Amino acid sequence: MTREELYDLVWSNPVSTVAKDLGVSDVYLGRVCGLLEVPTPPRGYWRKLATGKAHQRPELPDPRPGVPRVWTKGKATAQPAAQRPRYQAEPAQPSAGRRRRPPHELVKQAEEHYRESEHGVDGYLRPRKKLLPDIITSRDGAARCLRFASDLFHVLESRGHRVMIAPAFERLIRPDPLMTKTDGAGALWSPLRPTVAYIHGVPIGLCVMEAAAKKKLRYVGEGRYIPEKDYRPDRHPGPTSTVERSMPTGLIELIAYSPFHGFPWVKEWAETPKWSLGSGIDGVITVIEGGAVGLGIELEKAGRYF
């Protein structure tokens, strides 16, 4: 059933009646309408309609990027083929003088979970919740990483690119290299679904990560490792040993990637002590926009997505 068909149904009969005809509950049908962004009649609409006092029904809005356009009972909603978008990037706005905005809604919802998270021996936080934006950070680096992610999401949306946690129906992937560590410290935390920006209709995966570098650590017992520079024999008696591990540095990396299996594309940006990612957001987004154009063309040639 398309959005248009569902819209006609719920504005022709009460939702409870339509739900009964479809064999679902009215609560479930309400959720389907919300997922497909189909407006439903307000409370009291049918009574007012009978007396000629009801307002005219609203137009069905065009679906935003990522909103499904088809629903099938008992199956996940699917995104049908869409027309090829017009690839025309909006002019970049200068970073200088950009006013600080409140946290982006995705980041605002995640902040509490990061504050309450425990970290592993590698120093990276491991939030218990998995449906969070793709931000991998230590406790010390959390404030900077969250602030950068918020600024990035705001600027993307100011250029017309919606940012969200990928809907389940899209079945987008997060490449394995972003989900593993190779130094024996175990896997990094990873979200349940990718964080994506819809660039001209093409979803591009985004991962904000605190960069790591090899550091010498000393084991001081009870599962604790401390930086070698902080080791004091008088404070840490007993047998000790040293090991090199990748540890957070406080510098930020941004990884943009293709979330489609079989269509690899990835770009990475890393801060240095003399250059911050926050100062280069506009240039970064311009590169991502170009990557989305190329990825969209490849997907279209293969008969995928578009």
Is residue 88 over pLDDT 90? no
pTM of the model: 0.64
Whether 159 maps to a domain, the answer reads yes
Measured distance CA(114)–CA(125) in Å, rounded: 7
Greater confidence (60 vs 246) lies with 60
Greater confidence (271 vs 67) lies with 271
- Average pLDDT on 187-214 reads 90
Check whether residue 168 and residue 286 sit in a common domain: yes
Check whether residue 122 and residue 191 sit in a common domain: yes
Check whether residue 119 and residue 164 sit in a common domain: yes
Check whether residue 68 and residue 129 sit in a common domain: no
Would you state the torsion angle of the CA atoms of residues 41, 46, 50, 53, taken in this order, to the nearest 10 degrees?
-40
Is residue 243 over pLDDT 90? no
Check whether residue 63 and residue 121 sit in a common domain: no
Segment among 104-113, 126-135, 242-251 with least mean pLDDT: 242-251
Sign of the C-alpha dihedral computed for residues 118, 122, 123 and 125 taken in this order = negative
Domain count for the chain: 2
Q: Which backbone phi and psi does 219 adopt, to 5 degrees?
A: -80, 125
Each residue of 145-190: pLDDT tens digit? 999 999 999 999 999 899 999 988 778 999 865 544 444 455 788 8
Check whether residue 241 and residue 275 sit in a common domain: yes
In percent, the amount of the chain with pLDDT more than 90 equals: 35
Question: What is the reported pLDDT for 6?
Answer: 92
Check whether residue 294 and residue 166 sit in a common domain: yes
Which residue in the block uniquely carries the two structure tokens 């406080």? 250
Sign of the C-alpha dihedral computed for residues 171, 172, 176 and 179 taken in this order = negative
Contacts of 69 (CB under 8 A, 6+ apart): 2, 3, 36, 63, 79, 80
Under the banding of pLDDT at 50, 70 and 90, the label for residue 233 is confident
Each residue of 249-289: pLDDT tens digit? 899 999 999 999 999 999 999 999 899 998 999 999 999 99
Under the banding of pLDDT at 50, 70 and 90, the label for residue 74 is low
Per the CB < 8 A criterion, the answer to whether 282 and 73 are in contact is no
Residue 212, domain extent: 105-301
- Average pLDDT on 31-40 reads 84
Question: What is the reported pLDDT for 176?
Answer: 67
Is residue 80 over pLDDT 50? no
Please give the structure tokens belonging to residue 152.
Answer: 């990035």
Check whether residue 28 and residue 145 sit in a common domain: no
| The last residue of a domain, from among 32, 47, 80 | 80
First-residue to last-residue Cα distance in the chain:
20
Is residue 306 over pLDDT 90? no
- Average pLDDT on 127-145 reads 93
Check whether residue 54 and residue 111 sit in a common domain: no
Question: What is the reported pLDDT for 36?
Answer: 82
Check whether residue 110 and residue 54 sit in a common domain: no
Whether 226 maps to a domain, the answer reads yes
Question: What is the reported pLDDT for 77?
Answer: 46
